[in-house]
């Protein structure tokens, strides 16, 4: 393949003509497909349906400790659920509180609580002139949405192949207005990479000026490998104990859920943190709610039993996700390999492939896909304030469409990348 940048104006014009024809043809197909969000496919949800058999009208609804899950009480969640999610994160049940369905809500509440009441006795953020957050980007749009909602200034931290640029992070945390950093450390959204041991070590040994600085460790994809073979899986150190070794166990709040393990929006979620942090969380929580849905917690405990149960279940997810990732990667390689008009990640897990176009082409690709009936994640959404400084990043979410649909999506996407790139190159000829 000849890289597009080596083509002359005439060649580019000819190419544009060919691609435009192909594109008009694709448009005519009347596609209506969605690759925008990390939604599990129906086939994945089907796999969890046996969970619906766990309880019948004659079921014993008491947990191992004798708690009647149908009644009020047990603010921290049933012990079995704390153990199950603790195992998944590699921490003791005593360091876990289990909530309702959404870890996003738990994160929102953590920020909101800090804003209204401060962190473990420090000044509430609403009383401060300025609060800043470090936002490794490209990152998870909903994280940035929370901090933006609370008027928190977001500082973009570039991502390297190993995780956030730690030189910058170490520098920025010297500012006492910097109160936190958003992290999706494993199979990160959208890059699909996992923070290296070195990045984790440096993260666990930060010296923030602010006593209420916290690492918001959203371990959303901690068991979401695409491959069963250990050597094809990323590995992430357990951070709570890493921070503890440095005497900094209060510096981290870890979040997780089973949204992409059991049911999206009907799983169980948790926070894992030091005793001091959990006490702080509980101080508001006890005002906020009597107890979360313990029936659903017990349903999950009886269904998965333990970490091994989760791992076995995740292999089934992988069997559905793996071919989808491979299909997209194959199409990208086949259609775009060697053209020099895009780079992309090849994740071993998670829900996303991250694609970078040539500078200034992402929006155009998005629009072209949209006009032809394929919705991508809104371009820019992976950056704070929805502003991608170079207009290059596109998050590809291959989970929801069927294989047949996905092939159409990927091919259309590649076509749009080519067309947008040619148009961009012609601008300068």
| Site residues for a copy of itself per CB under 8 A | 37, 39-40, 42, 45, 48-53, 55-59, 61, 68-73, 100-102, 104-105, 108, 112, 115-117, 124, 126-127, 142, 145-146, 149-150, 259, 263-266, 284, 287-296
Q: Which is nearer to a copy of itself, 199 or 281 (CB)?
A: 281
In the structure encoding, which two tokens stand for residue 199, read together? 């990045």
Where residue 157 falls (left for φ over 0; alpha for ψ -120 to 50; beta otherwise) is: beta
Q: How far is the CB of 410 from a copy of itself (least distance, A)?
A: 22
User: Whose Cβ is closer to a copy of itself: residue 37's or residue 424's?
Assistant: 37
| Angle, vertex CA 378, rays to CA 150 and CA 406, nearest 5 | 135
Q: How far is CA 241 from CA 209, 238, 244, 254, 271, in A?
A: 22, 6, 5, 12, 15
In contact, 268 and 296? CB cutoff 8 Å: yes
Angle between helices 103-117 and 275-288 (to 10 degrees): 90
Q: Are 61 and 298 in contact (CB under 8 A)?
A: yes
Closest approach of Cβ 73 to a copy of itself, in Å? 7
Give Cβ neighbours of residue 412 (< 8 Å, ≥ 6 apart): 26, 31, 369, 372, 374
Minimum Å gap between C-beta 301 and a copy of itself is 14
What the block records as the tokens of 35 is 């690759």
CA dist list (Å): 333 to 286, 339, 342, 414: 53, 10, 10, 10
Task: Give min distance, CB of 91 to a copy of itself, in A.
Answer: 24
> For helices 307-336 and 294-304, what crossing angle results, to 10°?
80
CA distances from 181 to 65, 91, 245, 352 (A): 37, 21, 20, 21
Closer by beta carbon to a copy of itself, 75 or else 168: 75
């Amino acid at each position: 393949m000849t890289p597009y940048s080596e083509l002359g104006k005439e060649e580019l014009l000819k190419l544009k003509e060919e691609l435009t024809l192909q594109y008009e043809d694709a448009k005519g197909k009347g596609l209506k497909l969605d690759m925008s969000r990390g939604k599990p496919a129906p086939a994945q949800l089907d796999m969890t349906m046996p969970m619906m058999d766990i309880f019948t009208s004659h079921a014993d609804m008491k947990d191992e400790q004798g708690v009647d899950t149908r009644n009020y009480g047990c603010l921290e969640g049933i012990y079995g659920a704390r153990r199950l999610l603790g195992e998944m994160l590699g921490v003791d049940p005593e360091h876990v509180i289990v909530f309702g369905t959404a870890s996003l809500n738990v994160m929102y509440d953590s920020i909101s609580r800090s804003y209204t009441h401060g962190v473990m006795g420090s000044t509430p953020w609403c009383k401060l002139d300025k609060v800043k957050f470090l936002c490794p980007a490209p990152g998870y749009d909903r994280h940035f949405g929370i901090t933006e909602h609370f008027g928190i200034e977001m500082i973009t931290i570039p991502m390297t192949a190993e995780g956030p640029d730690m030189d910058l992070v170490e520098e920025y945390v010297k500012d006492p207005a910097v109160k936190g950093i958003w992290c999706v450390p494993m199979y990160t959204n959208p890059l699909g990479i996992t923070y290296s041991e070195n990045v984790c070590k440096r993260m666990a040994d930060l010296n923030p000026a602010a006593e209420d600085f916290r690492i918001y460790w959203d371990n959303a994809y901690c068991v979401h490998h695409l491959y069963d073979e250990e050597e094809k899986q990323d590995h992430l150190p357990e951070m709570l104990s890493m921070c503890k070794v440095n005497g900094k166990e209060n510096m981290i709040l870890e979040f997780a859920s089973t949204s992409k393990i059991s049911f999206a929006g009907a799983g169980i979620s948790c926070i894992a943190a030091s005793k001091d942090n959990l006490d702080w969380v509980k101080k508001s929580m006890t005002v906020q709610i009597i107890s979360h849905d313990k029936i659903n917690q017990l349903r999950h405990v009886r269904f998965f039993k333990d970490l091994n149960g989760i791992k076995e279940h995740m292999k089934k997810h992988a069997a559905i996700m793996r071919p989808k990732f491979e299909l997209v990667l194959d199409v990208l390689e086949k259609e775009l390999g060697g053209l020099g008009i895009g780079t992309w990640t090849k994740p071993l897990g998670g829900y996303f492939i991250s694609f970078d176009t040539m500078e200034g082409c992402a929006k155009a690709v998005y629009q072209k896909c949209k006009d032809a009936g394929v919705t991508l994640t809104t371009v820019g959404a992976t950056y704070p304030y929805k502003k991608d400084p170079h207009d290059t990043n596109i998050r590809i979410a291959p989970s929801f469409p069927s294989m047949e649909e996905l092939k159409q999506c990927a091919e259309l996407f590649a076509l749009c990348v080519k067309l947008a790139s040619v148009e961009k190159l012609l601008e300068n000829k």
